[in-house]
Amino acid sequence: MKRCVRNGVLIAAAVPLLALAGAREDYARQWPLNLGRDDAGAYRVVLDDSVYRQIHSAQLRDIDVLDGSGVPVPTAVFTPEQPLARAPQRAQLPWFALPASPSGSSTQGWELVSEIETDGRLRRVEARSTGSDTSKLPQTSLLLDASKLRSPILALELEWAPGAALDAAYTVEGSDNLDQWRTFASSGRLVDLQRGGQRLVQRRIVFDSMGEQARYLRLTPQDPKSAAQISVVTAELATTAASAPLQWRELKGQRVEQRDGSVAFEYRLDGRFPIQQADVALPGNHALEWRLDSRDDAEQGWRPQAGPWMAYQVGGQGKGDRSAARQLGGTTRDRLWRLRANGAVPGEPVLRLGYRPEVVVFLAQGAPPYALVAGSGRAARAESPLAHLIEALRKSRGQDWQPSDASLGASAALAGDAALAAPEPKRDWRSWVLWAVLVVGALLVAGFAFNVLRTSKPPAG
């Protein structure tokens, strides 16, 4: 009896150890984490290309942090800016009223006369009418002076005096010389509605997550008659853009003949990188219009990511000029990419895909040493409230607080490729047993009935 009790105690003690070992064996590789300081409590670590190449999940669910015993600790993945983001910097912008464009007109109907300081600041702006019907246009367009800003603008917030109901959409353009303008991709419209004593107000015009940057901005209402009488314009700035430099993956592709006779170039990305920009590299002078598509596997259809856009390279006079990289509409982690050109391609184009590495933030719970694990077809990181925790700590410790830095050590294999296999479907043994009991019971009843019929005597005549 004592031996049985002792064996039972040993088995019970081994169960947690097996569970902890299993936590690591669910992943392909691990990276030891070197903490910048021992008593920080919360840490952030920048992901490198070796981690992205190992991640299996398109949602980055198979990346986690374990303590020294192999127990997962609260962990979350953030964009490069999030763990470092302080309260957004804001700056009021000088603005000048301009005549609104006539509805449906392809021209502005006026010309801009301006005086500019040596540092780029606008001293005076005058809009002169160039048509007989433009003198009566309402002054509802705005020219914003952003020449003093050194950071991209994430959003514009506009203020106006309460009055009539407002629902106005604006087109936002940018320029560095007041002559050539480009349209910014933006979302949001100005809304000011009241009903039943309640008020609905929307003051922000938001740009994409990378922000926009130009010396001057122009806001034009799509309907000049339903525009706000603006009093203040404030820019919300991207304060940490410089802390996350862009990194590039350069891919060599394969020439593929299309059904319509055209030629495409297909590429495979070697990890779950958060791709945000694209560029095309070719030797020598060239100028081609490109379209870029992507998909995650060969069973899916191609999805457009960029284009058409012109990529060029022109040498001469001791220097070379080339086109800027193309900003994608969002972030994608697709594996397969395709380039198509509108003409003959001189050589084999190299597809350059740009991304900013994300960061993992974790809570130093349990005992060190800590390790980052990644690559699994069966494990998924648990949800954690770290975003709310960071916000709460900034309120109590000040907006300049941030998680302490940690760095990745040399990686080591865990379960390897075996961890990437999908888990076997769980068998519902309880249902199988229940069905087996029912089948056996039905057979017994049928056998009993058959036996009764066989042994029963026919009735007397």
Mean pLDDT value of segment 414-434: 75
Q: Any idea what DSSP says for residue 315?
A: E
Question: Looking at this protein, which amino acid is placed at residue 187?
Answer: S
Do you find a cis peptide bond into 425, omega within 30 degrees of 0?
A: no
Q: What is the mean pLDDT of residues 72-82?
A: 88
Tell me the pTM: 0.60
Q: Are the C-beta atoms of 37 and 402 separated by less than 8 Å? A: no
Q: Which CATH number fits domain 89-239: 1.10.3210.10, 2.60.40.1180, 2.60.120.260, 3.90.1150.10?
A: 2.60.120.260
pLDDT in tens, 289-340: 999 999 999 999 999 998 888 899 898 766 668 888 888 877 899 999 999 9
Task: Work out the mean pLDDT of the chain and round it to a whole number.
Answer: 81
- What does the alpha-carbon distance between residue 249 and residue 342 come to, in Å, rounded to a whole number? 24
Query: Residue 459 — pLDDT band, cuts 50, 70, 90?
Result: low
168 and 206 in contact (C-beta within 8 Å)?
A: no
**CA-CA distance, 281 to 18, in Å (whole number)?**
51
The pLDDT confidence band at residue 359, using thresholds 50, 70 and 90, is: very high
By the 8 A CB rule, do 36 and 43 touch? yes
Q: Which helix (H) or strand (E) holds 25?
A: helix 2-25
pLDDT-based confidence at 21, cuts 50/70/90?
very low
Cβ atoms of residues 376 and 67 within 8 Å: no
Cβ-based neighbour number of residue 26 at 10 Å: 20
* Residue 75 near residue 62 (C-beta atoms within 8 A): no
Confidence of residue 253 (pLDDT cuts 50, 70, 90): very high
- Enumerate residues 6+ apart whose C-beta is below 8 A from 219: 141, 142, 144, 156, 170, 171, 172, 205
Domain boundaries, the chain: 28-85+373-420, 89-239, 247-355
Cα 416 from Cα 25, distance rounded (Å): 9
Are 89-239 and 247-355 the same fold in CATH? yes
Per-residue pLDDT band for 47 (boundaries 50, 70, 90) equals very high
Cα separation of 227 and 158, whole Å? Answer: 12
The CATH architecture annotation of domain 247-355 reads Sandwich (2.60)
Distance CA 309, CA 334 (A): 21
Among 293, 395, 367, 273, which residue's Cα sits nearest to residue 336? Answer: 293
Least confident of 136-150, 169-183, 391-405: 136-150
pLDDT for the residue 20 = 41
With pLDDT > 70 as the criterion, what percentage of the chain qualifies?
77
Q: Point out the least confidently predicted range of 81-85, 334-338, 385-389.
A: 81-85
Give yes or no for residue 6 having a pLDDT over 50: no
Kindly state the average pLDDT of the residues 348-365. Answer: 95
pLDDT for 106 = 41
Instruction: Provide the pLDDT confidence category of residue 23 given band limits of 50, 70 and 90.
Output: confident
Six-digit token string for 442: 């039905």
Q: What are phi and psi of 233, to 5 degrees?
A: -125, 125
Region 53-77 average pLDDT = 95
234 band by pLDDT with thresholds 50, 70 and 90:
very high
Q: Which residue has the higher pLDDT, 387 or 114?
A: 387
pLDDT tens, position by position, 113-159: 556 665 556 666 555 555 555 455 567 788 999 888 877 888 899 99
Mean pLDDT (whole number) for 178-196? 82
Which residue pairs from 440-444 have beta carbons closer than 8 angstroms and sit at least 24 positions apart in sequence? none
Give 80 or 299, the one with higher predicted confidence: 299
Identify the band that residue 185 occupies on the pLDDT scale cut at 50, 70 and 90: confident
How many other C-beta atoms are found inside a 10 Å radius of the C-beta of residue 5? 9
Give the residue with greater pLDDT, 35 vs 189. 35
Spatial separation of the C-alpha atoms in residues 359 and 355, rounded to whole Å = 13
Average the pLDDT over 164-173 and give the result. Answer: 86
Q: Where are the beta strands (DSSP E) in 222-271?
A: 230-237, 247-252, 254-257, 263-268
Mean per-residue pLDDT, 65-85: 86
Residues 22, 50: Cα–Cα separation, whole Å: 23
d(CA 220, CA 137): 12
Residue 273, Cβ neighbours under 10 Å: how many? 26
Q: Is the pLDDT of residue 461 over 60?
A: no
